[in-house]
Amino acid sequence: MKFKTITARIIISVIPLVAVITILSVVNIYFAMNGQITTQFDERMTESLRLARLSIYAELLMNAKVAESLAIYAETCSRETIEKGELARFLLRSIPSNKNTVGGGIWFEPYSLYPDERYFGPYVYIKDGKAVYSDEYGSEVDFHQEAWYINGKQSGGETVWSDVYYDPVAAVTMITSSVPFYRSSGEFLGVATADMALTDIKAISADIAVGRTGAAFILGAKGEFISFIDESRSSDMLIGDDPDHELVSLGRQVLNNRSGSETLSWQGRQYRAFYTGMEEIDWHLVVIIDNAEVGQSANDLIRSLALVPVVGLFFVAWSILMVARYLKRVTNKVNSFADQAASGDLRERILITEHDEFGVMEDRLNRMMDTMAEMSEHSEKMLEMAQAASRAKTEFLSKMSHEMRTPMNAIIGMVQVSEQTDDREKLRDCLLKIDHASRNLLELINNVLDMAKIEANKVELEVARFSIREVFESIANVFWVKAEEKKLALTLTADDSVPGSIWSDRFRYSQVVTNLVSNAVKFTPEGGAVSVAAELLKETATGFVIRTTVADTGIGVAPESAGRLFGAFEQANSGIFRQYGGTGLGLSISKSLVELMGGTIWYEPNGSAGSRFVFTITAEKTGKEETAPAEKLTPDAFDFRGKSILVAEDVEINREIVAALLEDTGVAIDFAENGLEACGMFSKNPEKYDLIFMDIQMPEMDGLAATKKIRRMEKGKKIPIIAMSANAFREDVNASLEAGMNGHISKPLDLNVVLSTLHSFLK
């Protein structure tokens, strides 16, 4: 072909060639880039799924940490009895510590913590933004048969997760993590649980970067919809039962494969579906995106290349390189961060350099690490608190063991000595020492019981008129022998300003002074001095404020230890216990009793050496008229011949004591070894008995049940029934009276009380 002009040649020769080259380039680039763009898109979707999976697992892990901290605390509870109030406070602190945890509890095996409670499962749930405590779930449902309990029990010590369910109380969809706990011996004790709302997990799936038309949802192990693209599916619906056959087919692929992608025809359009499994909890994360959006990038590229092929080609190549480098940089950064977190290093944070969805993900990962660090620190603190409480209890039990063994050793030793001698004086000396050791043991037990009643707020004052001077005289008689042995100058004085008599609790006032004097005598070396002084500090129209000071020239208290003097189970230092003994309860009890009597107590140094304890009480000027004190009674002063009583007592030595105490009164005594036997003996011959002494804790049938049964008998409505029991708390006395008894005598038995009771009912 001949060309008339260079322009034509160029046009005819170059333009078709350029056009062909351009078309071939566009076609070649189209096919080459289309596959690469699709691959890059698949990688981006896969990375988005991986990051979302990491975020979801992090949320689950934070909830699991709550359950683990409850399990650690529960194992601490198993080593010593923990009060329910302390358990409730721990739960009320722990459950709200994670924002997605809406409930949780510690569920014990039957009778494993409290011997009288089969179903004990304290738990806390969030209602209207507030933590609510309850331990009554077991009264309505046998939680030992619940799936979450059985799965936790059979997990072999691992954390397990429940199926997703809707909770009507919290009004949210949730999942429960279960962690078993054991005794130190390996014996299974129960399951700790934490309930997690799925609100944030649904938000994570909704925020996955899937373009303009894409959306994500989560399937459970059975195919239930944990979250969906819209609100048309809920967690009680299975994808296998969905009316849309395409969704059913997709669900089958997702549930049967660990990860992959599928093509889906849904709602009249073609979609690409990407999915991955979450082995830790057997969930499946699915993302779908319109195929048109996937192919849109290639179509746009063709149009760009048709207009400016060279620039377009360069721009696409450069863009692809930038995207690849971007994805690689973000992926490497996130992987490095994830490796550090997996190794247990919770201090590092990811540097936020992006401003897109990956930047949001980085920020969430940092916030997740902040929360996990706080939870870890909180768990460590709670563990330290639990260990400190355990150490305090252990030290107290060690002291109690020492203090109880000392008088018990004296009692057993003196019994053995008395068995080997016929010398009446030596035998009398043994009995006196046994009596002294027994009273010391009883005083120790009373101190522990007083501390228990104080902690339970069950101590009540018994106000009566008494003389402080008489109390001082009585205390002087108790301690003068010990003071003489140590050559101590012991003085107890009441100032002239102190009234002759006041209205308060004589026993508790005497108990406080006795505790302080006992410490002063114990810690003052030979040749020292102990003084007690009472004075009127203030007088009002209705009462007095009395100040009492107990001073000594003893070892004193180090300034750094003074602040711990009035704490329970505390002594100035461990050397004091080793040298002088004691449980460390006396000052704590004294402080509580003084405050109960409307006063305060404090410590101050007594000059260069010694201690001074000062306390005040508030006393009334007048009160109820009291009866005159009873005279000391002896058995031979009474004649109960012709009278017959029935004594229900399961302990043989206690039966022997009653028989010996009443031998000289002439009363006839029949013994029953339990409540059931007592009911049988009375029903056979009700006219025989004039009075019944009834123990409370007995086998077969206890005293309360036996009393109720006797009262239902025709002949048992009027017979006097008196409790004779070691259960001496006020609530125990009230329980006896409510069961139908006429009175209550506490053990150890006081002969005076027994005789006066018999006299009042048999006269």
Q: What residue ranges do the domains of the chain occupy?
A: 37-307, 354-458, 464-620, 635-762
Q: Which two tokens stand for residue 385?
A: 């608190």
Closest CA to 119 of 133, 106, 132: 106
Q: How far apart are the first and last CA of the chain?
A: 153
How large a percentage of the chain has pLDDT more than 90? 27
Mean pLDDT of 639-653: 92
Q: Could you confirm whether domain 464-620 is CATH 3.30.565.10?
A: yes
The three-state secondary structure class of 183 is: coil
Place of tokens 């109880």: 404
Phi, psi dihedrals of residue 596, rounded to the nearest 5°? -65, -30
pLDDT at 423 over 60: yes
pLDDT in tens, 187-202: 999 999 999 888 777 7
Do the Cβ atoms of 719 and 706 come closer than 8 Å?
no
DSSP 8-state code for residue 138: G
Mean pLDDT of 640-659: 93
Considering only 109-118, 216-225, 483-492, 677-686, which range has the smallest mean pLDDT?
Answer: 216-225
Q: Which two tokens stand for residue 728?
A: 């001496």
Considering only 424-438, 457-471, 531-545, 715-729, which range has the smallest mean pLDDT?
Answer: 424-438
Give the pLDDT score at 627.
45
Q: Which two tokens stand for residue 418?
A: 């008395």
DSSP 8-state code for residue 628: P
DSSP 8-state code for residue 541: S
pLDDT in tens, 37-77: 777 777 777 777 788 788 888 888 888 899 999 999 888 87
Give the pLDDT score at 626.
47
Do the Cβ atoms of 513 and 590 come closer than 8 Å?
no
Do the Cβ atoms of 282 and 216 come closer than 8 Å?
no
Contacts of 16 by beta carbon, 8 Å cutoff, 6+ apart: none
The three-state secondary structure class of 537 is: strand
Please provide the DSSP assignment of 320-332 as one string.
HHHHHHHHHHHHH
The three-state secondary structure class of 286 is: strand
pLDDT in tens, 450-498: 666 676 666 778 888 999 999 999 888 888 888 888 999 999 999 999 9
CA distance 585 to 444: 9
Neighbours of 559 (CB within 10 A): 8
27: left (phi over 0), alpha (psi -120 to 50) or beta: alpha
Strands (E), 128-199: 130-134, 160-161, 165-167, 172-182, 188-197
Give the pLDDT score at 568.
62
Do the Cβ atoms of 609 and 556 come closer than 8 Å?
yes
Give the pLDDT score at 438.
78
The three-state secondary structure class of 167 is: strand
pLDDT at 618 over 60: yes
Q: Which two tokens stand for residue 43?
A: 């990688």
Higher pLDDT, 569 or 152: 152
pLDDT in tens, 278-318: 877 888 888 888 777 766 665 666 666 556 565 655 565 56
> 160-161 and 668-672: which strand pairing?
unpaired
Closest CA to 360 of 178, 185, 203, 152: 203
* Helix, strand and coil percent figures for the chain, each rounded to 5: 50, 20, 30
Give the pLDDT score at 574.
46
Give the pLDDT score at 327.
67
pLDDT at 15 over 50: yes
- At residue 373 the predicted structure's pLDDT band, cuts being 50, 70 and 90, is confident
> 123-127 and 165-167: which strand pairing?
unpaired
- At residue 32 the predicted structure's pLDDT band, cuts being 50, 70 and 90, is low
Closest CA to 366 of 344, 332, 334: 334
pLDDT at 629 over 50: no
The three-state secondary structure class of 553 is: coil
pLDDT at 558 over 80: no
Q: Which two tokens stand for residue 356?
A: 């897109």
Please provide the DSSP assignment of 431-480 as one string.
HHHHHHHHHHHHHHHHHHHHHHHHHTT------EEE-HHHHHHHHHHHHH
C-alpha dist (Å) from residue 71 to 141, 174, 280: 22, 20, 20
The three-state secondary structure class of 570 is: coil
Give the pLDDT score at 374.
79
The three-state secondary structure class of 507 is: helix
pLDDT at 324 over 90: no
pLDDT in tens, 573-591: 444 444 444 556 778 889 9
- At residue 625 the predicted structure's pLDDT band, cuts being 50, 70 and 90, is very low
Please, where are the H alpha helices in 564-623?
574-580, 586-596
Mean pLDDT of 5-28: 60
Kindly tell me the sign of the dihedral angle through the C-alpha atoms of 400, 405, 407, 408: positive
pLDDT at 674 over 50: yes
122-141 residues labelled b (16+ CB within 10 A) or e (exposed): bbbbbeeeebebebebbeee
Considering only 210-219, 466-475, 506-515, 739-748, which range has the smallest mean pLDDT?
Answer: 210-219
Neighbours of 440 (CB within 10 A): 17
pLDDT at 664 over 60: yes
Report the mean per-residue pLDDT for the chain. 80
Phi, psi dihedrals of residue 495, rounded to the nearest 5°? -60, 155
Adjacent-strand bridge partners of 631: none
Mean pLDDT of 409-425: 82
**153 burial level (CB within 10 Å; 0-12, 13-18, 19+):** middle
Please provide the DSSP assignment of 630-655 as one string.
PPPP-GGG---TT-EEEEE-S-HHHH
Domain 37-307 CATH superfamily: PAS domain (3.30.450.20)
Give the pLDDT score at 364.
79
Q: Could you confirm whether domain 635-762 is CATH 3.40.50.2300?
A: yes
Among 31-35, 182-186, 559-563, 659-663, which range has the highest average pLDDT? 659-663
Single-letter amino acid, residue 600:
T
Closest CA to 472 of 525, 532, 383, 519: 532
Neighbours of 388 (CB within 10 A): 10
Please provide the DSSP assignment of 484-500 as one string.
HHTT-EEEEEE-TTS-S
Q: How far is CA 580 from the centre of its chain?
A: 35
CA distance 720 to 692: 6
C-alpha dist (Å) from residue 103 to 122, 175, 189, 195: 11, 10, 20, 5
pLDDT at 26 over 50: yes
Closest CA to 396 of 611, 605, 577: 577
- At residue 249 the predicted structure's pLDDT band, cuts being 50, 70 and 90, is confident
Q: What is the pTM of this model?
A: 0.41
Do the Cβ atoms of 730 and 460 come closer than 8 Å?
yes
Higher pLDDT, 525 or 362: 525
CA-angle at 14, arms to 11 and 19, nearest 5°: 105
**CATH class of the domain whose range is 354-458:** mainly alpha
Q: Which two tokens stand for residue 162?
A: 């429940």
- Total number of residues shown for the chain: 763
Do the Cβ atoms of 291 and 272 come closer than 8 Å?
yes
Considering only 79-93, 370-384, 573-587, 633-647, which range has the smallest mean pLDDT?
Answer: 573-587
CA distance 583 to 458: 21
Closest CA to 389 of 256, 598, 569: 569
Which H, E and C letters describe 300-323, residue by residue?
A: HHHHHHHHCHHHHHHHHHHHHHHH
Mean pLDDT of 107-132: 86
Mean pLDDT of 411-428: 84
